[in-house]
Chains A and B, each alone.
Chain A
């Protein structure tokens, strides 16, 4: 694959280093010192000096030939612009963006960025798995479908505890897939009962996340 990476910071550099043996890699970086460093470590043909969102630079980089655009800079606005131009102007089939402000993750996906990676949200997910919490934990995103697989633990005081699956009012576009009670997974049937502390796995459209959260763990309240 031909992969173009915006930003030769730590994320961009280590990504390129991991991929360079098997793929054609080009990093676009604005800082000349950083360009020199990467050129010395990985070779001069792996790195190019320039603004990754600038059309002349993108053309020179061979953007129209790229199979994958990866934005790794520390600025969400630059990552979004790089991915959007890659797709809209150069028809790059797939784009991946690093998310710095976790609030931007839903927006980026809505705007057609194929994959997003937020270190903050990943760490939050790990912390939340350890703590009692009413939130949904995103497990994975289904590429290009605006759907995600989420996990939630039914709180002790949840209105849903003791109810049957058919009594739940799930939002449109959401589907309960699995109930895990005391470590044993079972497929939900209409008359399956949901207990406090059960772990529920569901598929949901990103827009329905909040409605699904309150349907599964209500009452809506503070974590």
Chain B
């Protein structure tokens, strides 16, 4: 698969690395050139400096031939916009986005967008670890 990732923070960079290890081609976008420092030196994918909510920038990152798109920045609204551009403008089949606000995530899931809510996931994991220690 060819995957375009928006956001090269810890999360986006980690995802890029594991996807590449699985044999996928990756193109990763960020507005901050220093964000690419999160990637290991042997990362082979394409690094694109630019705003992933801009259609021309997404095109430059290869959105027209992408099989999947993931929005993984810290900004919920940015992720939601980028995911909807990927889905409706570039007709990318598999799109997903990180939405930190649980309520916003619910709204976007209701609109048919695949979303991950780290807040709920992390809270669940923390609960598990605390409850386990009580045993």
Contact = CB atoms under 8 A, between A and B. Distances in A.
Given A53-B104, A54-B101, A81 B80 contact: yes
A88 B110 contact: yes
A89 B77 contact: no
B88 A103 contact: no
Contacts of B103: 55, 89
Interface string A64-81: 000000000001111011
Interface string A86-99: 00110000000000
The secondary structure that dominates the B interface is helix
Given A76-B53, A81-B80, A111 B107 contact: no
A107 B104 contact: no
B118 interface: no
Contacts of A103: 54-56
Contact of A77 (B80, B89, B108): B80
Interface string B13-41: 00000000000000000000000000000
B29 to A, nearest CB: 15
B111 A77 contact: no
Interface string B97-135: 000010110011011000000000000000000000000
B76 interface: yes
Given A103-B56, A107-B89, A80 B77 contact: yes
A77 B6 CA distance: 14
B111 to A, nearest CB: 6
B85 interface: yes
Interface in A175-220: none
Contacts of A53: 76-77, 101, 104
A84 B99 CA distance: 14
B77 A107 contact: no
Given A75-B77, A81-B77, A103-B56, 12 more contacts: A53-B76, A77-B80, A84-B80, A84-B111, A85-B104, A101-B54, A103-B54, A103-B55, A104-B81, A104-B85, A107-B84, A111-B84
Interface of A: 53-55, 75-78, 80-81, 84-85, 88-89, 101, 103-104, 107, 110-111
